[in-house]
Chain A
Amino acid sequence: GESVGLHLPTLSVQEGDNSIINCAYSNSASDYFIWYKQESGKGPQFIIDIRSNMDKRQGQRVTVLLNKTVKHLSLQIAATQPGDSAVYFCAESTAGNQFYFGTGTSLTVIP
């Protein structure tokens, strides 16, 4: 199966700072990537996605960077807020096949 993992299981940041959450994948043919946010007791919430023909995509306060050379994906959150505290995980798929999900990084925002 695919290997999708996160570099750090936990991350603590000060409110107002920027956060960077990383994800590594093993399949060089992976062509679609998604970041999800999951709050305690809730289902994952779609944040942003990126396809392999791009290396950067921006949303509201979030940016996803894709480095296909080293098979690395990152999520940057600008001006992190207490409401950003959650588990973040990446997912990847290849040619429309099933998604493989990482185990997640727990982000804690310190007021």
Chain B
Amino acid sequence: SQTIHQWPATLVQPVGSPLSLECTVEGTSNPNLYWYRQAAGRGLQLLFYSVGIGQISSEVPQNLSASRPQDRQFILSSKKLLLSDSGFYLCAWSVNRDQPQHFGDGTRLSIL
């Protein structure tokens, strides 16, 4: 069966520090991968998605970037965090864009 792992579960970072969140998927090949941010009381906001290694599409302009160095690895990064980057970040995978997305358990990011 397929599983998705995100880490760390929680992270506290100072403003201006770099960020690297990692997501890996097991049990499937060439998945579509997604990064979302979930703000309290708001729906999930798609940040990035990838249909293959090295292929990244960005949905919103922001202080973040994403990379897919391996087939089942998706990384969310920032060179300098802003206070507004605080939130709950979720990684998801799907077989293709017309199939359900399956989510990891997220990273709670707090910027101080």
Residues of chain A having any CB pair with chain B under 8 Å = 4, 32, 34, 36, 41-46, 49, 89, 91, 93, 96-104
Complex contact A46–B97 (CB within 8 A): no
B74 proximal to A (CB < 8 A): no
Query: Inside 8 A of B41's CB, which chain A residues have their CB?
Result: 103
Which residue of chain A has its CB nearest to the CB of B57?
A98
Complex contact B106–A42 (CB within 8 A): yes
Identify which of B13-21, B42-50, B61-69, B77-85 touches chain A: B42-50
- Ranked 5 nearest A-B pairs via Cβ: A43-B103, A101-B43, A101-B44, A96-B98, A96-B97
B71 proximal to A (CB < 8 A): no
Complex contact A42–B100 (CB within 8 A): no
Given known A-B contacts A43-B90, A49-B100, A100 and B105 have beta carbons under 8 A apart: no
Interface size class of B (residues with CB under 8 A): 20 to 34
Query: Inside 8 A of A32's CB, which chain B residues have their CB?
Result: 98
B104 proximal to A (CB < 8 A): yes
Query: Inside 8 A of B92's CB, which chain A residues have their CB?
Result: 43
Complex contact B105–A99 (CB within 8 A): no
Complex contact A98–B100 (CB within 8 A): no
Complex contact B90–A98 (CB within 8 A): no
Q: How far is the CA of A58 from the CA of B92 in the complex (A)?
A: 24
User: Which residue, of A32, A43, A45, A93, has the highest number of chain B Cβ atoms within 10 A?
Assistant: A43
Query: Inside 8 A of A34's CB, which chain B residues have their CB?
Result: 100-101
Q: How far is the CA of A49 from the CA of B98 in the complex (A)?
A: 11
Given known A-B contacts A34-B100, A42-B105, A44-B103, A98 and B46 have beta carbons under 8 A apart: yes
Q: How far is the CA of A44 from the CA of B59 in the complex (A)?
A: 20
* 11 interchain pairs, CB-CB under 8 A: A34-B101, A36-B103, A41-B106, A42-B106, A43-B6, A43-B103, A44-B103, A45-B103, A93-B98, A102-B43, A104-B43
